[in-house]
């Protein structure tokens, strides 16, 4: 099951919900969760690949792609948000858990300044 966390773009103020964990929606709906998250390039790429492989294998390849992609998509989407300049903006524990799940080390560049813990004086 996917876990939600919040990411914010400090330059634009845009707030997005990011995810880590298994994507059931990707399993059942293929590339369409990417479309609903406005991840258009990923939608087009996955849709075309799944359609071609599905056509060549009478649909079985498309099911296989959905199964494999559902394990990978949430992490892929969330790390792409980081690359686009979004930063972790949830609670300290939420940020640490999400960063660990994504394989990212929290630092000053990927968390909001107001949420960073001040060192004890």
* pLDDT, tens only, 27-60: 999 999 999 999 999 999 999 999 999 999 998 9
Residue 121 predicted with pLDDT over 50: no
C-alpha–C-alpha distance, residues 45 and 38, integer Å = 13
Q: Which residues pair with 20 in a beta bridge?
A: 3
Element (H, E) at 66: helix 60-83
Q: Nearest Cα to 68, choosing from 101, 20, 23, 1? A: 23
pLDDT at 117 over 80: no
pLDDT at 59: 87
pTM above 0.85, yes or no: yes
């Amino acid at each position: 099951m996917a876990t939600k966390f919040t990411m914010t773009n400090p330059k634009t103020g845009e707030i997005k919900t990011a995810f880590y964990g298994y994507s059931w929606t990707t399993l059942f709906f293929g590339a369409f969760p990417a479309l609903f998250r406005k991840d258009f390039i990923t939608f087009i790429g996955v849709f075309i690949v799944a359609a071609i492989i599905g056509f060549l294998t009478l649909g079985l390849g498309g099911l296989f792609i959905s199964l494999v992609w559902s394990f990978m998509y949430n992490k892929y989407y969330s790390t792409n948000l980081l690359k686009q300049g979004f930063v972790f903006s949830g609670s300290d524990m939420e940020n640490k858990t999400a960063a660990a799940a994504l394989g990212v080390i929290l630092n000053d560049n990927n968390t909001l300044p107001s949420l960073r813990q001040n060192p004890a004086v």
